[in-house]
Structure 1
């Protein structure tokens, strides 16, 4: 258990290091799920759970003042606890969503004030022209603001795994069936939230063409992606050719009226 807890801590530390690497997306469930699965010797199951959680969190992007649920804690703990219990991706999803919501509240209460303190320190370092102290406060403050995750996630796994596993083993069959059904609905809901943000009348026909091609022509997603790529290339060269013709007409020799 101690080795697994240490691995959970290292995965959490890796996930919160995204601020050092720009928007590298290493904190997405699609990355963290397989890492947890690999650490627990269940890589394939970790990939499946990570992909399932990614669908649920696919629209969870911080835009403006909106702060999405904490994907890091939800993915790591949901996947780890589900694997420990010998359960499937539906259980990882059922555990991950409430965990991410609770951690969002905890981060708002604890992480934000810590970050604010170091932000003021960095402002003072800039005013004083002290680059060395600015670098120290930037790196140390970055990880200090993630201290609740670095502490809570490993501790929650270490002290809570046996309780969660015992609780899951007592779930009646009818409730487990409900969890499995909701596990299929929630990823669809997450994808629908993303589609709502990007969908317009120009994109909608392509979405439905792809959907009906999968449904009625029995094409897989790889085939759809290949056809979509070929269509994009075709439209690119067609648009380029049309722009070339317009340029030739606009640059006539002055006798075009005749």
Structure 2
């Protein structure tokens, strides 16, 4: 059974690694990988729950500039698989996911020299105008460095599943409770990472407005979303009207003295 699960996880990792092959498909996101891992492990419902929980934690894990976030593919798949195997909940998947993701990302940096070597070959053939060789090196740049490290995740599952499950079952209750508390904090960390990227003086007021509606008025998330759409339409309309007024004012500016 574990051999078949390992094979399916290998295929899942390959699909997740190649998620940009035909555009940004987002199949590498935890909300997708968690559900697929749950299906492989025979507990689709828990996979969906764990994937959604991990999505909250990784919502701000976006590569910007030189920053490379933890590897959420390995973290999600292994964290979900180990938690389901141990009969634990999403808080355990969260607690396992981040260390795994950080370790896998550190290992992945070893492939950077290979990436650069292929990219320099792309530059060489582009400068020479050799389209066919450029296309070949372009595809190799995308696939080879990723596929080299694909076996890490399924091998970690195959050889580490029993060890991790045994370790979790040996943990005392207070550690399990601590994992649950830490798991509850990690989604907040994910939102904080996202807020750090997008928060500024123009949008911060809407953040607190949404918080006010939910916490003080008891409005559900669906109601807040509907209100946000209405507010966005109104504000865009106001901005458009102000822009038209400004254009008219600028057009008539030269004739004001008459």
TM-score greater than 0.5 by the shorter chain: yes
Cα distance in structure 1, aligned partners of 2:170 and 2:130: 59
Cα distance in structure 1, aligned partners of 2:253 and 2:169: 83
How big is the alpha-carbon RMSD for the aligned residues of Structure 1 and Structure 2?
A: 2.1
How far is the alpha carbon of 1:40 from its aligned partner?
2.5
Contact 1:59–1:191 (8 Å) recurs in 2 = yes
Q: Which residue matches 2:179?
A: 179
How far is the alpha carbon of 1:148 from its aligned partner?
4.5
Cα distance in structure 1, aligned partners of 2:127 and 2:198: 42
Between 239-248 and 68-77, report the one with greater CA deviation: 239-248
1:18 and 2:13 are equivalent in the alignment: no
Q: Which residue matches 1:133?
A: 133
Q: Which residue matches 1:226?
A: 226
TM-score normalised by structure 1 residue count? 0.90
**CA shift digits 1:140-167 (9 cap, x unpaired):** 3422201343110011111111111111
Contact 2:61–2:193 (8 Å) recurs in 1 = no
1:206 and 2:206 are equivalent in the alignment: yes
Cα distance in structure 1, aligned partners of 2:228 and 2:122: 48
Q: SS of the residue aligned with 1:201?
A: coil
Unaligned runs of 5+ in 2: none
Q: Which residue matches 2:50?
A: 49
Shift in CA distance, 148/179, structure 1 to aligned 2, threshold 3 Å: farther
Q: SS of the residue aligned with 1:36?
A: helix
Q: Which residue matches 1:106?
A: 107
Cα distance in structure 1, aligned partners of 2:123 and 2:251: 55
How far is the alpha carbon of 1:182 from its aligned partner?
0.4
Between 20-29 and 65-74, report the one with greater CA deviation: 20-29
Q: SS of the residue aligned with 1:150?
A: coil
Cα distance in structure 2, aligned partners of 1:254 and 1:139: 58
Moved over 6 A (4+): none
Cα distance in structure 2, aligned partners of 1:83 and 1:148: 27
Contact 1:30–1:54 (8 Å) recurs in 2 = yes
Unaligned runs of 5+ in 1: none
1:78 and 2:79 are equivalent in the alignment: yes
Cα distance in structure 2, aligned partners of 1:162 and 1:181: 25
Shift in CA distance, 245/15, structure 1 to aligned 2, threshold 3 Å: same
What are the within-5 Å matches in structure 2 for residues 111-190 of structure 1? 111-127=111-127, 129-190=129-190
Shift in CA distance, 157/244, structure 1 to aligned 2, threshold 3 Å: same
Cα distance in structure 1, aligned partners of 2:181 and 2:154: 29
TM-score normalised by structure 2 residue count? 0.90
Contact 1:29–1:72 (8 Å) recurs in 2 = yes
Q: Which residue matches 1:243?
A: 243
Between 121-130 and 99-108, report the one with greater CA deviation: 121-130
Q: Which residue matches 1:93?
A: 94
Cα distance in structure 2, aligned partners of 1:255 and 1:23: 52
Contact 1:19–1:142 (8 Å) recurs in 2 = no
Contact 1:12–1:149 (8 Å) recurs in 2 = no
